[in-house]
């Protein structure tokens, strides 16, 4: 009788311990579930906040702030729409004298582009366009024309900076970068006025670097060679990369050639801008 009571007590004790263990395990599992759910909930909330912030940033970006990529290229029509606003037509009246000593005047036309330097706007063009001109004018993309004066000229690098009294609203400057990182094979774009055809765009690549060019017995070194088609009237226009940044200025081509044109590198433009100080 006594042994049966002891066995019952042992059984009850074991059952109590087992029940306690099961309850404790279930309680631990419940606690772990809520803790993990809370942690995951925080992570989800953080992700939602990040997505919301990213969406707001994307909404704040205008379509004009970037060029839509197509593979490894860009949409050239979008790029052109940005660049054309900063390219101008440069016209120069040149006084000539014929073999009979009679005076007459000719008009020389080229291209130019807008830059901002030291909080001031100026027109960059080729010196050979405005050299010896008795008057010069520039025409913006909207068709308005203004008289221009030569602010700076350097025949040794075929470069000139023009000034005009046009209102600031007319000036939409391009961005200019160093040409030191250019490599053969990089894409190149021209926008200018070949043969008076305003707003013309052509595309090619950088075909060679550090060429030496001879113009009117002047040696110009470190010239960029490009396959981008150019014609008379392109001189003074910008040479650009696929971001629309100026990497050079069109200066010359080999007559009757195909795909052999030259541009003064942007580093030379930047060096000459410092002479304005």
Q: How far is CA 240 from the centre of its chain?
A: 8
| SS3 (DSSP) at 47 | helix
Whole-number Å distance between alpha carbons of 44 and 34: 15
End-to-end CA distance of the chain: 117
Is the fold of 81-170 the same as that of 178-276?
yes
pLDDT at 257: 73
Whole-number Å distance between alpha carbons of 133 and 150: 10
Per-residue pLDDT reduced to its tens digit, 16-34: 555 555 655 655 655 555 5
Q: Give one DSSP letter per residue of 134-147, joined into a string.
A: EEEEEE-TTS-EEE
Class for the domain spanning 81-170: mainly beta
Whole-number Å distance between alpha carbons of 150 and 90: 12
Domain ranges of the chain: 1-52, 81-170, 178-276
| SS3 (DSSP) at 76 | helix
Q: How far is CA 25 from CA 29, 38, 60, in A?
A: 6, 20, 52
pLDDT at 124: 97
Q: How far is CA 76 from the centre of its chain?
A: 12
- Whether 217 is catalytic: no
From the CB of residue 232, how many other CB atoms can be counted at a distance below 10 Å? 14
User: How many alpha carbons lie under 13 Å from residue 263 in its C-beta half-sphere?
Assistant: 38
pLDDT at 70: 39
- Which residue positions in the chain have pLDDT lower than 50? 1-12, 62-71
Q: How far is CA 261 from the centre of its chain?
A: 22
E strand or H helix that includes residue 54: helix 2-60
Whole-number Å distance between alpha carbons of 218 and 116: 28
| CB within 8 Å of 223: residues ≥ 6 apart | 210, 211, 212, 213, 251, 262, 263, 264, 265
pLDDT at 158: 93
| SS3 (DSSP) at 209 | strand
- Select which of 86, 126, 128, 200 is catalytic: 128
- Select which of 158, 179, 200, 202 is catalytic: 158
Q: Kindly tell me the number of DSSP H helices and DSSP E strands found in the chain.
A: 4, 15
Please state which CATH number belongs to domain 178-276: 2.40.10.10
What b-and-e string marks burial along 118-145, b requiring 16 or more CB atoms within 10 Å of the CB? eeebbbbbbbbbbbebeebbbbbbeeee
Cβ atoms 198, 138 nearer than 8 A: no
Per-residue tokens: 188: 């190149």
pLDDT at 102: 87
Per-residue pLDDT reduced to its tens digit, 34-75: 555 555 566 666 666 765 676 666 565 544 444 444 345 578
Whole-number Å distance between alpha carbons of 73 and 69: 6
Q: pTM here?
A: 0.70
Cβ atoms 158, 108 nearer than 8 A: no
From the CB of residue 1, how many other CB atoms can be counted at a distance below 10 Å? 4
């Amino acid at each position: 009788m006594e042994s049966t009571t002891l066995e019952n007590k042992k059984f009850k004790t074991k059952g109590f311990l087992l029940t306690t263990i099961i309850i404790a395990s279930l309680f631990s599992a419940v606690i772990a579930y809520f803790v993990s759910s809370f942690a995951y909930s925080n992570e989800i909330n953080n992700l939602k906040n990040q997505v919301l912030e990213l969406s707001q940033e994307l909404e704040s970006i205008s379509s004009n702030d970037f060029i839509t990529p197509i593979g490894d290229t860009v949409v050239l029509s979008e790029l052109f729409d940005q660049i054309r606003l900063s390219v101008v037509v440069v016209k120069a009246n040149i006084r000539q004298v014929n073999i009979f000593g009679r005076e007459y005047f000719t008009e020389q036309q080229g291209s130019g582009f807008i830059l901002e330097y030291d909080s001031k706007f100026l027109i960059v063009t080729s010196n050979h366009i405005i050299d010896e001109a008795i008057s010069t004018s520039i025409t913006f993309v909207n068709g308005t024309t203004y008289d221009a004066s030569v602010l700076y000229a350097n025949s040794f690098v075929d470069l000139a900076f023009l000034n005009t009294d046009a209102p600031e609203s007319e000036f939409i400057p391009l961005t200019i970068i160093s040409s030191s990182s250019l490599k053969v094979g990089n894409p190149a774009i021209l926008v200018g006025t070949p043969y008076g055809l305003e707003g013309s765009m052509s595309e090619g690549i950088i075909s060679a670097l550090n060429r030496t060019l001879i113009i009117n017995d002047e040696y110009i070194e470190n010239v960029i060679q490009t396959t981008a088609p150019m014609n008379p009237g392109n001189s003074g226009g910008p040479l650009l990369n696929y971001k629309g940044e100026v990497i050079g200025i069109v200066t010359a081509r080999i007559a009757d050639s195909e795909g052999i044109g030259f541009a003064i590198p942007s580093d030379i433009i930047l060096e000459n801008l410092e002479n304005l100080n």
